[in-house]
Structure formats: C-alpha cells, structure tokens
Amino acid sequence: MTPKPFKIEIPQATLDTIKEKVRAYDWHEMPRGSGLEGSWAYGANLDFMRELCTYWVERYGWRRWEAELNRFPQFTAKVEDIDIHFYRVDGSGPTPRPLILSHGWPGSVFEFLHIIEPLAHPERFGGDAKDAFTVIVPSLPGYGFSGKPTRPISPRTIARLFDRLMVDVLELPGYIAQGGDWGSAISGWLGYDGKGCRAVHMNMMGWLSPGVMPETDEERRHAESSRQLFDAEGAYFREQSTKPQTLSYAMMDSPVGACAWIVEKFHGWSDLRRGFENIYTRDQLLTNVMIYLVTRSFNTATWLYRGLFEDFSGAPVPPKSRVEKPVAVANFPVDLIPFPPRSQAEKSLNIVRWTNFQEGGHFAALERPNDLVEDIRAFARELST
C-alpha cells in the first residue's frame, strides 16, 4: 500500500477524439415560445449548450488545466483491491490537522483544487498557520483517476477504503472528514465506522439513522417539500440507481451528451441569484466534465447509485443509531436535498456546530470557497478547545 507518485498525462489522441466528436455533434431542437427563452425547465438549455460547445472546440485548452491539476503532489495507493488516487499537501506549522475532502457526483477532485492551498497554508492568504491542515483529496473509486470497481459499491465501502488510506497508508489518524453530495455520505460513514476519524464536517445531509422519522410539524413540512423537490428533480437518480449500464452506452460515446447531463445538475443545484455564468466559468464546467471523459469514468461513477441499494457491507446499523463523533453542518440555502430542521438532523448526527449561510448551493467549494474554508477552520478550532 505504499503510495506511488502520480501525474496526469492524457494522450493527445484522446483529446483530439473528444474535440472531433464535439465538433461533429448534430444539433437538434428544444421547446420554443413565450416564456421559454433561456429556459432550463426541460433540461439542459440548447442555446447555452451550443455556445459552451463552440467555446469547447475553439478556445478551451485541456493542457492548461492539466498543468493546474498537476500543481499539487498526487499519488496512487492500492487499498484492498482498488487503486485510490489522491492529492496530499502537508500543512504549515508543527501540528497541522489531517483533513480528507470527499467529492461527489457529478463532481471531481477539481472542485477542491483552489481551496487546497488556503487550507494547508492559511498564512499565505492572511490567515494563521495554526489553522493549517494536511489536506488529502481522493478521487472516489470509479471516478476520475482512481481505479474502477468490478461492480457497484456503496458510500460505506468507500468510507472503509478511505479510512484505511488515512490510517494504514498515510498514518494520519485523528482526521476530520469533510464532504458534500456523496462526499457527505462517505464522511458520515467515516464518522460512524472510521477508526481514525476525529470529526465530520458536511455541507449536505448525507447520513440518516435508520428508523428516524419526522415528528414535529416543521419536520413533516420539510419532509413533504423535499419529497416534491425530489419528484421533480430526481429522475437522474432513479435511472442511475436502477439501470446505469443502459445510460452508459449514450454517455460514454457522446461528449456533448455527458456534458449536458452533468452541466444541467450544476445549473439545477446551484444558487442562481447571481446568474449561472457568474458562478462558474466555462473552463470550470468543462474541466470537470473532461475529467469524466479523459478517464472514461462516466459509467463507473454512476454505479455508486446502484451500489447504495445492493452493497450492504459492514454490520447492520441498529435503529436510531447516530454518528456520535462531533459533526459540523454548513447549511447553504440551495441544494437538491436541503438539510432538515436541526431538531431532526440531531436525531442522526451529534451536531456541535451549525452554520446557516445566506448564499450558495450544492457545489459549495466552487460557489462559496471562502465561506466553506472558514467554516472548516472554525470547526477545527472548536474541536481543539
């Protein structure tokens, strides 16, 4: 399990093939008429996608972002039977706290690239070196530059692999686990099962205790509004958790199709009050998509949804068991699965810090990086008192 240095070096032929497929895409229709100009109500907006793909072919440069992805030390280590790719940046000062950042779908390690240095070396950004972390950012198994499982696995299994990575491979016990999306589920399981986990910081409700139900009027209203939201937005989840292989035949062949499938989620799950194009640059959207394309991992990434329902590794969780390690909640106002009222969340999690933010959505590390970084720092300070 000794880590091996890793560098991203995508063959030019792979990049050329992707660009040619984008250039050759045969565009079609979208609903038009009064009130539909610029609409995403039917899915990824055709006009936006055409403009994005024109930029992709004519101006986007993977090599620039490949160099950025290679800016920090990267490694792979075989944990059990899967090669785990990860960044490791040792923090400033004599006692940086270990921190593992876990991404989700349809994200990647790219989400965290710009916050690694502020977390590891806060003094370079006007902060205090006492707040430094040794930062570990892994690619989920089946995603990006990590190895691919032979069949769907669950967030709990990934948590077991990540705990072994932190404790057995990197010798970094006492770590804080942070994540959103699947990363919040993985972090929750690290808090529940992880031998080396000290505490959990999450920006989505990713861990629910079995047998916990809404009880108050506020909790029941939240449950009903969440159900309605998921009914309207959860078709992707149902497909990926039931028949991901069928979806893969289109998405593995069409860069434009995969891009639309992913970018639509960035649009739908973000706080759009500032405007979509003021939140993410085209390069950010495309680089995240390109990681799925150049590694041919769209298919195996979606397997995680099926794994949630068929990979029951580990001992059954007794009814109403909680994550008893300290948990911090960073509650951003827009998400596919909004946090329930604190009264309900505390039935599943030992919440010692809860921060409500006025802006931001699902992809907090990209949308509100300063808010996220400072909340992680503040939580770590509280753990030390």
> Domain locations in the chain?
11-29+41-64+225-309, 69-215+317-384
Cβ pair 176, 210 in contact under 8 A = no
Per-residue pLDDT of the chain (385 residues; tens, 9 = 90+): 799 999 999 999 999 999 999 999 999 999 999 999 999 999 999 999 999 999 999 999 999 999 999 999 999 999 999 999 999 999 998 999 999 999 999 999 999 999 999 999 999 999 999 999 999 999 999 999 999 999 999 999 999 999 999 999 999 999 999 999 999 999 999 999 999 999 999 999 989 999 999 999 999 999 999 999 999 999 999 999 999 999 999 999 999 999 999 999 999 999 999 999 999 999 999 999 999 999 999 999 999 999 999 999 899 999 999 999 999 999 999 998 899 999 999 999 999 999 999 999 999 999 999 999 999 999 999 998 7
Distance CA 282, CA 266 (A): 12
Displacement of CA 156 from its chain's centroid (Å): 15
**Dmax over Cα atoms in the chain, in whole Å?**
63
Which of 264, 241, 284 has the alpha carbon at shortest distance from 69? 284
Which of 336, 339, 359, 362 has the alpha carbon at shortest distance from 349? 339
Q: What is the pLDDT of residue 45?
A: 98
Q: What is the pLDDT of residue 1?
A: 77
Displacement of CA 41 from its chain's centroid (Å): 24
166 φ, ψ (degrees, to nearest 5): -70, -40
Cβ pair 112, 140 in contact under 8 A = no
Peptide bond connecting 106 to the previous residue in cis, omega within 30 degrees of 0:
yes
Helix (H, G, I), strand (E, B) or coil at 16: helix
The count of C-alpha atoms lying within 13 angstroms of the C-alpha of 173, restricted to the half-sphere facing its C-beta, is 5
Residue 133 pairs with which residues in a beta bridge? Answer: 97
Q: What is the pLDDT of residue 30?
A: 97
CATH of region 69-215+317-384, choose from 3.40.50.300, 3.30.360.10, 3.30.200.20, 3.40.50.1820? 3.40.50.1820
Distance CA 207, CA 189 (A): 7
Helix (H, G, I), strand (E, B) or coil at 89: strand
CA 214-184-225 angle, to 5 degrees, is 35
Q: What is the pLDDT of residue 385?
A: 79
pTM for this model (two decimals): 0.97
Q: What tokens were used for 313?
A: 């590794």
Cβ pair 337, 205 in contact under 8 A = yes
Displacement of CA 225 from its chain's centroid (Å): 24
Q: What is the pLDDT of residue 300?
A: 98
